[in-house]
Amino acid sequence: MNQKAFIFDLDGVIVDTARYHYLAWQKIATRLGIEFTHEHNELLKGVSRVRSLDIILGLGNVQATQEDKDKWLMEKNEDYLQSIHHMQADEILDGVVPVLDYLKNNNQKVALGSASKNARPILEKVGLLHYFDAIVDGNDVTNAKPDPEVFVKAAQLLGMPPEGAIVFEDSVAGVQAANIAQMISIGIGDKSVLQEAHYNFTDFTEIDTEFLETLVTT
Ligand code: B16
Ligand code: MG
């Protein structure tokens, strides 16, 4: 069997941390008098922490000094860390573990490629850290998705060429990043949103062994 590089995004693919990000950002937004809805939260999917704050401030037309921004970024993260502190294996999204098991049992290379600076503690808390041969997160990259840096670095760390690596992503920017790197993009979520992906699935329960076999052998 061939050996391929499989790269997973974290939020929206392995776990749903978007709701914790939302709660933490909402506190900051409320304090600043900015309306911040679930629809607004969608704009922050796969986006870095710094850029997320800029988007929220933009929603309310709020200007701020760098000092203020740094303070809010720290507060947001402290709040978020409190939420993820309680995460456990039951927060892993349905169907993810069988796919990871298949990949490990079939000698495939597995990496994480996430914008989050909190990726490692989250994987540890939900008990998935041991599946990953490499982790590239928000601490390791300078260019945010759709720049392919995060995925190219992940393939590099796995010792595999970027072309032909397989990426699971829930954000448009992430799918674009994978495509730019000439990887195979698999959109997880709404197909009408992730239409640029090579393959689409609503969630991991739709991904069967036959499909994984095809990815490995072609
Ligand atoms: P942190 P992903 C992303 O994770 C989230 O989707 C995004 O909402 C968040 O702002 C970003 O991580 C940074 O997270 O504040 O923990 O560094 O989808 O790239 O795994
Ligand atoms: Mg994501």
Ligand 2 centroid to Cα of residue 141, in Å, is 15
β-strand pairing of 199-201 with 184-188: parallel
Question: According to CATH, what is the number of the domain 18-84?
Answer: 1.10.150.240
Q: Running DSSP on this structure, what letter comes out for residue 163?
A: T
Residues, CB within 5 angstroms of ligand 2 (ion): 9, 11-12, 46, 170-171
CA pair distance 8, 182, nearest whole angstrom? 16
Q: Which amino acid is at 71?
A: K
> For the whole model, what pTM was predicted?
0.95
Tell which CATH architecture fits domain 5-15+89-217. Answer: 3-Layer(aba) Sandwich (3.40)
CA pair distance 35, 2, nearest whole angstrom? 50
Ligand 1 centroid to Cα of residue 33, in Å, is 23
The number of the ligand 1 atom at minimal distance from the alpha carbon of 119 is: 16
Chain mean pLDDT for the chain: 97
DSSP per-residue letters across 133-147: SEEE-TTT-SS-TTS
Domain with CATH 1.10.150.240 in the chain: 18-84
Return the exposure string of 159-197: e unless at least 16 CB atoms fall within 10 Å of the residue's CB, then b: ebebeebbbbbbbbbbbbbbbbbebbbbbbbeeebbeeb
| Closest residue by CA, ligand 1 atom 12 | 116
Q: In the structure, which protein residues have their CB atom closer than 6 angstroms to any atom of ligand 1? A: 9-12, 21, 44-49, 52, 77, 114-118, 138
| Closest residue by CA, ligand 1 atom 13 | 116
Give the active site residues.
Answer: 9, 11
- Over residues 176-185, the pLDDT tens digits come to 999 999 999 9
- Over residues 80-136, the pLDDT tens digits come to 999 999 999 999 999 999 999 999 999 999 999 999 999 999 999 999 999 999 999
The number of the ligand 1 atom at minimal distance from the alpha carbon of 52 is: 10
Span 193-211, mean pLDDT? 97
DSSP per-residue letters across 186-200: EEES-TTTSTTSSEE
Span 184-212, mean pLDDT? 97
Domain with CATH 3.40.50.1000 in the chain: 5-15+89-217
Q: Which of 7-11, 39-43, 164-168, 208-212 comes out lowest in average pLDDT?
A: 39-43
